[in-house]
Amino acid sequence: MQENPVYEDVIAEVGKFFADRLKHLLACGVNPEQVVLDVGLGFGKRAEDNLRLLAELNRFTIWERPLLVGASRKSFMGAASGAKIQERLPPSLACACWAAQNGAGIIRCHDVASTRHALRMTEALMKQQKNAEHFSHPQ
């Protein structure tokens, strides 16, 4: 899987995979409410593929299914930030916060307490941003 992964357009290919799988599951009688989507960071993907999936994560919200992101301590963080394995908490937190801000509802992580605090802060900021947008553009 990791030998020589090649995607012409990782966003389009993962999106097609989701569409095909969701259609198949529906045909098999699986309720869409039972489905969580995971873009598969680190699984058969190059560092640039993982970064692009995170950068464009919000594109996978079109299916209105929870998105799961498991970026914690993945090797692409070392390639992107230079962090050694033992130094990957900060990039893991950055990815978790970015994912939450861009549509992920489930974060798989190794450092639960730190991730929970970082996500709570991100959620507080997102709430303030939404409030500010509401007040600056009244209906």
Q: Which residues participate in catalysis according to the annotation?
A: 74, 108
Alpha carbons 10 and 48: distance in angstroms, whole number: 10
What distances in angstroms separate CA 88 from CA 76, 80, 82, 130, one per listed residue?
A: 10, 11, 9, 30
Report the C-alpha dihedral over residues 80, 89, 45, 107, rounded to 10 degrees: -130
Alpha carbons 64 and 80: distance in angstroms, whole number: 30
Instruction: Please name every residue paired with 107 in a beta bridge, in sequence order, or none if there are none.
Output: 69
Alpha carbons 85 and 50: distance in angstroms, whole number: 17
